[in-house]
Structure 1
Amino acid sequence: MGHLLSIGAAGVSLCIAVPAVAQDAAPVAMSFEAASQALGKGSRALSAADHEVRAAQATADALKALRRPVVSASASFVEYQKTLAIDLSGTKNNLTGATSDFLAGLPGQFPPGFQEIVTQVTQRVGAALPGLLSAIPDTLRFQTRDSAFRPTVTAALPLYTGGAIPAIQRGAQAGVAIAEATQAQGRDLSQLNLVRTYFGQQVAEQLAASTRATRDGFDRHLSDARKLEQQGVLSHARVLEIQVARDASDRAYLRADLEATTARDTLARLLDAEGGVQPTTALFVNAQPLPPKAEFLAATDHPQARGADAARAVAAAGVDLARSRFRPQAFAFGEYNLNRNDALPTEPDWIAGVAVRMTLLSNVDRRRTLDAAHERERAAADSAAEIRKTIATQTVRAYDLTETARRTFLSLDSSVAAAEENLRVQALSFREGEATSAAVIDAQAAIATVRTQRIAAAYEYDLALAGLLVASHQLDSFGGYLARADHRLGPVTP
């Protein structure tokens, strides 16, 4: 959890967000560029985003082969029993009739001398025939029990899916784009948080130094007042008035010092620096105005916009997938038995063919499913348009904040000089008895306020500039602005 900063008319206020950690090791001196590199290497959030991108890409790669055949091998061991029953009664009757007819006509086929002999033979055969056929059952029943080992290779190849395969592949590629956009956005936001925390520590330390200088000034003013009281020049009531102001400045310093400690802890936790970080890159302001606002608004490669476009592509793929359910599907298939000798009687050695399937009636309303997909596509389009509008609004607001902070900072240069001179004159006049203690107190408060406002303006410029570059996806140019800066408020050694 980081510290919170609010900038207002009265200056800067740092709110305590986390307790300070023990600083056993010495602080590490680190420039902003080095801090940025350390954050990129040690951030778990950025590492998680990298893993998400790789996972999405692996998923898309896995779906590239959907048009290839699916070949599988299987093996099974089965035990079976088969029973066959054949009705022979009709066959027996037909055989009896045919045999009787044959025997009756057989004597006429021999010469007259042999006909009597043949007739006797046929009569005996005809008499014995019913007994011979009675041995054959009316029903023949056959039963066998066996086991079989069935190794097979099966292949299936999609020929036409109604557009389902291209839709799935486009959706997977859009998923990669979403993950990459999320990754880029996460990097921008982490860098923006680094700007807030890195320079925020300096703000807290400089405010602590400013309040300490104010308290020390009141200490000197109180010492002078006590000397004047001893000389009878100043009343005790005036001395007490200065004492109250001095104590108030001391409480302000203690509060600012605690907030500086919290700010140091926040940056140390962000960069995993056990002993803390001592920034070496100062708060900065560029005196030159920013480039025209149109240059920042013209940027179109914002991660949020890319993510919205990818989400729209996913929704469009969903429409195509829903539409494919109305269309037929065709595929080729084949199977080969690797153990023909042990195959069942009804199993072929191999089989190949082409099949077409079309759903005529589904238990899911396909029309409603397609309508839902169209609505998701429209919603994604509206979201993309709204995100671009929001990005433009944020860009304009950040641009205006940056320019306002720049102008405010430059205008405070003369104010600081005037406040310092006013305090010097009022303190000298008070020691000579020509000015009141209230005038010195007011001069001390004025210089404290203008110093605070100057620090706040510099910090607001840096933070607003980073926000502007994030909104226009140009954060890589932040280092260029830093290098060209012509006003710097050097880091304070705690």
Structure 2
Amino acid sequence: MIGGWAGFGMARATIIAASLMPIAAGAAAQDVAMTFDAASRRLETTSPALAAADHAEDAARETAAAVATLRRPVVTASAQYIAYQKTLAVDLTGQKEDARDATQDFLSGIPMTVPPAFQQIASDIVGRIGQALPGLFTAIPDQLSYRYRDDVFRPTVQGVLPLYSGGAIPAIQRGARAAAEIAAARAAQGRDLAQLNLIRVYFGEQAAAALAASARESRDALDRLLSDVRKMEAAGVVAHARTLEAQVARDTAERTWQRAAIAHDGARDDLARLLEVDRVRPTTGLFVVSHPLAPAGSFTGGEARLPQTRQADAAGAVARAGVDLARSRYRPQAFAFGEYNLNRSNALPTEPDWVAGVGVRYTLLSNVDRRHALNAAKANAAAADDAAREARKSAITATLRAWDLVESARRAFLLTDSSLAAAQENLRVQEIAFREGEATMTAVLAAEAALATARTQRAAIAYEYDLALAALLSASGQLDTFADHIAGADIHLPTDARP
């Protein structure tokens, strides 16, 4: 981003103007003066992207809180209304034969157990009973069938308590906490990106305003030059060709100013849309710190707090939790369970009043190859660790590169002071010499172009410095100190010289 804006100038202003519509003439909206700090605070409350990142972070933290209680028992209550029918059939054939044989044996022994005087009487009685037995046993059916129909209301309370999960529960909990950290890091990264975009747009409006003001000054200066040349032509001092040359230069400056003004309107619209206001007038100008920053090494060492490295570290924690979860599939699971019938008086005959126990479950054969699943989890963990190391290396590289850009922009800006002063003096001398007839129109026009270039470069390099500083602070995890650098800057470009 910094490299793309480093060559900010009139050509870029022309490209921006081609894709943006100018603010409608006669708009009744009033400018809202806003410092950078005020704009930053407003962005925090109006940015949908920041709000979405915060909601995602809240969701991840709530998910982690939800699985933090996986070791608690699961207690459920249920109620069932059951209508049922039961049919019972009992085969009595064998029992009838056994009863008949036992009865006959018993009767045959009775006469032998009574006194001799009564044995004849007993034999007659036994004979008569024996004759009646076949009819008695015939009346007993060979099979007894019973059918019962009823309905039952069955309210119960059940409970299951995990005793040992093979490491699955702690792995899930660690993974959820790491996912919450990823969401928090993404939210922080979103805030950094939003802040960088605000810096780009806020100070980009300042740069566009400075370019438009420079173009207007050049147009006004060539207006005055054209007026002087026309007077000199009327007095017979210069030829008409010099007037035409001044006219062409003035018209070119007019077109340049119009393009710069449209580009400035577009930049102002971008800032207004970003902050969701009608029109914004920034009051914090482009700035440069004339003295060098602290050494580049002082901005390194804090990579662990960067959002991107935090995401990488948390992703590694998620991957390692996945390894533990894959290992848990090799281990048994133990649990306690219980159930209580709240309507025991109306229970099914086979149902207990209550039941409690413990159980163990072990997967002997799974339709998912557990060895390959574990290998995949280990590979993911290794990839996450490598990504975390790469994120730290990239952060250090980005920090050192941004520090170089800041220092380069600082030195280049300090050189613009002498260039701007020399360009102003050169133009003044060339204008005087032209009026005295000692300089050509071409020299005056070249001096005016050099002055316009110096003014443009001054604003563009200041903008480059601000963007490079923001990139350095972001890469080193210190973007929240950007406002401190604004307050400590000893060079501020004016904001009142606006078109």
User: What's the TM-score bracket when you normalise by the shorter of the two chains?
Assistant: over 0.9
Residue 182 of structure 1: aligned partner: 186
Q: Which amino acid letter does the alignment assign opposite residue 242 of structure 1?
A: A
Once superposed, what is the RMSD of the aligned Cα atoms?
A: 1.5
Find 1:316's aligned residue among 320, 325, 331: 320
Q: Deviations over 1:138-173 (max 9, x none)?
A: 111111111111111100000000000000000110
Q: Percent identity?
A: 58
Residue 156 of structure 1: aligned partner: 160
**DSSP-derived class of the 2:162 partner:** strand
- CA distance in 2 between counterparts of 1:18 and 1:416 reads 31
- CA distance in 1 between counterparts of 2:377 and 2:349 reads 50
Count matched residues: 491
Deviation at 1:5, TM superposition (A): 6.8
State whether residues 11 and 456 of structure 1, in contact with CA within 8 Å, keep that contact through their aligned partners in structure 2: no
* TM-score using structure 1 length: 0.97
Find 1:286's aligned residue among 284, 289, 302: 289
Residue 344 of structure 1: aligned partner: 348
State whether residues 154 and 335 of structure 1, in contact with CA within 8 Å, keep that contact through their aligned partners in structure 2: yes
> Greater shift after overlay, 451-460 or 235-244?
235-244
Deviation at 1:232, TM superposition (A): 2.0
**DSSP-derived class of the 2:6 partner:** strand
State whether residues 5 and 13 of structure 1, in contact with CA within 8 Å, keep that contact through their aligned partners in structure 2: no
Residue 275 of structure 2: aligned partner: 271
Deviation at 1:243, TM superposition (A): 1.3
State whether residues 11 and 449 of structure 1, in contact with CA within 8 Å, keep that contact through their aligned partners in structure 2: no
**DSSP-derived class of the 1:24 partner:** coil
Q: Deviations over 1:288-332 (max 9, x none)?
A: 101110111122210110011001111111111111111100100
* Paired residues for 1:218-237 under 5 Å: 218-237=222-241
- Cα separation, partners in 2 of 1:50 and 1:483, compared to 1, 3 Å: same
Residue 21 of structure 2: aligned partner: 19
Q: Which amino acid letter does the alignment assign opposite residue 207 of structure 2?
A: V
Q: Deviations over 1:63-119 (max 9, x none)?
A: 111001000011111111111111111111111111111111111111111111111
**DSSP-derived class of the 2:83 partner:** strand
Residue 103 of structure 2: aligned partner: 99
* Paired residues for 1:29-48 under 5 Å: 29-48=33-52
* Paired residues for 1:1-150 under 5 Å: 6-8=5-7, 13-14=12-13, 15-16=16-17, 17-20=19-22, 22=24, 23-150=27-154
- CA distance in 1 between counterparts of 2:383 and 2:318 reads 12
* Paired residues for 1:91-490 under 5 Å: 91-274=95-278, 276-300=279-303, 301-490=305-494
Deviation at 1:484, TM superposition (A): 1.1
- Cα separation, partners in 2 of 1:9 and 1:101, compared to 1, 3 Å: closer
Q: Which amino acid letter does the alignment assign opposite residue 322 of structure 1?
A: A
- CA distance in 2 between counterparts of 1:269 and 1:8 reads 25
* TM-score using structure 2 length: 0.96
Deviation at 1:53, TM superposition (A): 1.1
- CA distance in 2 between counterparts of 1:378 and 1:471 reads 25
Note the residue ranges of structure 2 that are not aligned, 5 or more in a row: none
> Greater shift after overlay, 230-239 or 186-195?
230-239
**DSSP-derived class of the 1:414 partner:** helix
**DSSP-derived class of the 2:149 partner:** strand
**DSSP-derived class of the 1:13 partner:** helix
- Cα separation, partners in 2 of 1:9 and 1:176, compared to 1, 3 Å: closer
Note the residue ranges of structure 1 that are not aligned, 5 or more in a row: none
- CA distance in 1 between counterparts of 2:187 and 2:281 reads 29
Q: Deviations over 1:327-352 (max 9, x none)?
A: 10010001111111221111111111
> Greater shift after overlay, 13-22 or 66-75?
13-22
